[in-house]
Amino acid sequence: MTEIRMRVNGVVHSLDVEPWVSLLDALRERLGLTGPKKGCDQGACGACTVLADGVRINACLALAVQYADKEITTIEGLAQGGELHPVQQAFIRHDGFQCGYCTSGQICSAVAMLAEHAAGMPSVVSGSAARAELTDAEIRERMSGNLCRCGAYNGILDAIREVATP
């Protein structure tokens, strides 16, 4: 067992974890934060997406002990002072989900994706072009690590587009 201190959604937790415990299991099973979902536990679906220092990661592929000194944000930490994050509101308005199981991951992923884009990070769609315009094709490409078997992709795109376009 290793005792680690982890800052999650602004709160510091100290917990004992074996070195093989994934960040996802630490959040879900030890801290009771079940917002991040486990769809595959293999890095293939994106349901477990959380933010580590603002960067999106698959929590199922991360070891908890590696993230001891990072600021973790889960879906539970996106709303501020009782007010939903604009991406959360847009998902409701544009019906960006059905069963809801991929939704936490989609929303965390979208929040970080918009930040990546704002920071000038390229994608395969824009190639090396800096500051590519955030077209529908860009959004789709950059969100393709998050599967939605309910097929809510059109609604998700509309939600992200609305937040991205002031």
Partner 1 sequence: MTTKHAEVEQRAPYVGRAVDRLDGPAKVTGAARYAAEHPYPNLAHAALVHATVARGRITAVDTAAALAVRGVIEVLTHENAPAMKPAPALSMLNPSTMASGTSVNYLATDEVHWNGQPVAVVVAETPEAARYAASLVRLTYQESPAEVDFAAAEPNAVPQKNNPLQSAGADKGDANAALAAAPVRVDLRFTTPPHSHNAIEPHATTAVWDGDDLTVHEGTQNIAWVRQHLAQRFDVPARRVRVLSPYVGGAFGGKTMIWAGTLLAVLAARATGRPVRLVLTREGVFHTVGGRTPSTQRVALGADADGRLTALIHTSVARTGRVGGGPEQITSASRHLYAAPNIHLRQNLVQLDLVANTVMRAPGESIGTFALESAMDELAWELGLDPIELRMRNEPANNPVDGKRFAHRMLREAYALGAERFGWKERDPRPGAMRDGRWLVGMGVATAYHPAWQLPAKVGVRLTADGTVVVRSSLHEMGMGAATAQAQIAADTLGVPMEAVRVEYGDSDLPPGPGAGGSGQTASAAAALLAASHKLKRSVFALARHAPDSPLRGRRLDRLEARDGGLYEGSAGETYAAILTRAGRDHLEAEAGPGMLGFAAKMLRDRRNWVKAASGAQFCEVRVDQDTGEVRVSRWVGVFDVGTVINTKTVAAQLRGGIVMGLGLALSEETLVDRRTGRVVNASLAENHVPVHADVPRIDVDWLGDPDPTMPLGLLGVGEVSITGVGAAVANAVRHATGRRILDLPITLDKLL
Residues lying near partner 1 in the complex (CB under 8 A) are found at 18, 20-21, 25, 28-29, 32-45, 47, 74-76, 78-79, 84, 88, 91-93, 95, 97-104, 107, 136-137, 139-141, 143-157
97 near ligand FES, rule: CB under 6 A: yes
Pick one of 19, 54, 100, 120: the residue that binds ligand FES (CB under 6 A): 100
Contacts 24+ apart (CB under 8 A), 99-102: 99/149, 99/150, 101/37, 101/39, 101/47, 102/37, 102/39, 102/45, 102/46, 102/47, 102/146, 102/147, 102/148, 102/149, 102/150, 102/152
The entry of partner 1, ligand FES, none that residue 58 binds, CB within 5 to 8 Å by partner kind:
ligand FES
CB 56 to ligand FES: min, Å: 11
Rounded distance between C-alpha atoms, residue 43 and residue 49, angstroms: 9
Interface contacts to ligand FES, rule CB under 6 A: 38-41, 43-48, 58, 60, 97-103, 148-150, 152
